[in-house]
Amino acid sequence: MVLFLGKRLFIMLLTMFGVSLLVFMGLEFSPENVATKVLGPYSSPAQRQLWLQKHGYMESPVTRYLTWLSKVLRGDFGESSRFRVPVHTLLWERLGKTALLGLTTFAVMIPLSLLLGVLAGMREGSAHDRVISFLSILTTSLPEYASGVFLATIFVFGLAWLPGTSSMISGFSLKELILPTAVLVLYDVGYVTRMTRAAMVEVMAADYIRTAVLKGLPWRTVIVHHALRNALLTPLTIIMLQVNWLLSGTVVVEYLFAYRGFGALLLDASLNQDLYVLEACALVAVAIAVLTHTLADVGYAYLSPRLRFRTEP
């Protein structure tokens, strides 16, 4: 297990190094392009030249990359050309808000989808299996912008129970979290439910489950102690991958409800060509993606003894 963790850590660091190199070459390799993005298209060539000399862009690409990488490792991403504040102050604040939205989404989605998936997969082809499968396909087929408009029409304009925006200008508000959370849960719960159901159906058809049933073990014991552990392997990986989706795929939801999170920051930086914010968002998004993949692999090895023993020397 220790060797397995060491390999995953090495791959994670190697991936992040490669991504940092790609980000630098794509966004920082041309000094003239950087100066134009930071100072604006109406800046004079003399202004750009002075800015490049002041910020060390006259050095060789290798030297500039090493300097840039050392700043990134210290958390120094530069200054936003749109907001005129250090990027890290924007980044961590927006990440915190998206993390809050993700926690509320996961707190509802994970137990609900696992419960529905297990119930559907326990008895394939039964009435509740068909109902749950139909609802899962229906919710997954609705994109976020459609379900967002639908829920807003009912609860904001129709019943007037919830606010239409979630900017939280006056501080934390649970009511403002309900609609964006509901939209994300509605879209994602069906997908995780279907994956859990498929894994549960496969496990329930295994020989050791049939043997446990024939031995007369209680149905609850068969499900909880024998089927559920192996059936969770696939949903675990799927759920960990949803972290990446929540980080960058919430652009529509955050924009729709004016929620000032990471997705809205990424969209705003793209529209305004805010170079340093784009770099920070790209690096952080990839770092979280790589970390969640690593955690998923570790969790998979923990849940599957065969994989865990195979990775040991």
* Three-class SS state of 105: helix
Span 278-300, average pLDDT: 83
What is the spatial distance between Cα 149 and Cα 221, in angstroms, rounded to a whole number? 44
For tokens 């729709």, the residue is 256
Task: Read off the pLDDT band of 174 (50, 70, 90).
Answer: confident
Q: Is the model's pLDDT at 4 over the cut of 70?
A: no
Residue range 76-88: mean pLDDT, rounded: 88
* Angstrom distance (rounded) from CA 253 to CA 257: 6
Residue 112: per-residue pLDDT: 92
pLDDT at 120: 87
3-state secondary structure of 25: helix
Q: Are the C-beta atoms of 101 and 180 separated by less than 8 Å? A: yes
pLDDT tier at 313, thresholds 50, 70, 90: very low
Residue 258: band (very low, low, confident or very high) from pLDDT cuts 50, 70, 90: confident
Check residue 1 and give its pLDDT.
Answer: 58
Name the residue ranges covered by the structural domains of the chain: 1-74+274-313, 89-272
Within the chain, where are the H helices? 2-23, 31-39, 45-54, 61-73, 87-122, 127-141, 144-152, 174-204, 207-214, 219-221, 228-231, 233-248, 251-256, 262-272, 275-303, 305-311
- CATH number of the 89-272 domain: 1.10.3720.10
For 90-108, what is each residue's pLDDT tens digit?
A: 899 899 899 899 899 999 9
Query: What is the chain's mean pLDDT, rounded?
Result: 84
Q: What is the pLDDT of residue 304?
A: 62
52-56, 113-117, 242-246: the lowest-pLDDT one: 242-246
The string of pLDDT tens digits covering residues 189-233 is 888 898 888 888 888 888 877 888 778 778 777 777 777 777 777
Specify which of 1-10, 57-66, 207-216 reaches the highest per-range mean pLDDT.
57-66
Query: Using the 8-state DSSP alphabet, how is residue 80 labeled?
Result: -
- Single-letter code of the amino acid located at 134: F
Residue 176 predicted with pLDDT over 50: yes
